Amino acid sequence: MLLANIDKVNRDFYERLSQISQDLTQTEKEFCGLLRLQLSSKEIAILRNITPKAVKMARYRLRKKLNLPSDEDMYAFIAEV
């Protein structure tokens, strides 16, 4: 239920993300929505029912798809989208 509400609120955000990188999956867009809420890896893992290590890998893959350098803050980038 919570994730469905997050998706409703973030529809415009997902569209802006698609303009930045058209090859993002819906799951990756949803992951960005959770990052936009400033949730920690542990909190995201609990919500998505995955391990914190899987969250770390998802963040790594997302960084590559968005062409973000490793020194750029992902939370700040997501907030600007």
Query: How do the pLDDT tens digits run along the chain, 81 residues long?
Result: 676 777 777 788 888 988 988 899 989 998 999 999 899 999 999 999 999 999 999 999 999 999 999 899 999 999 998
Tell me how far apart the alpha carbons of residues 52 and 14 are, in angstroms, rounded to a whole number: 23
Burial of 17 (0-12, 13-18, 19+ CB in 10 A): buried
What is the model's pTM?
A: 0.83
Q: Across the chain, how many H-helices and E-strands are there?
A: 6, 0
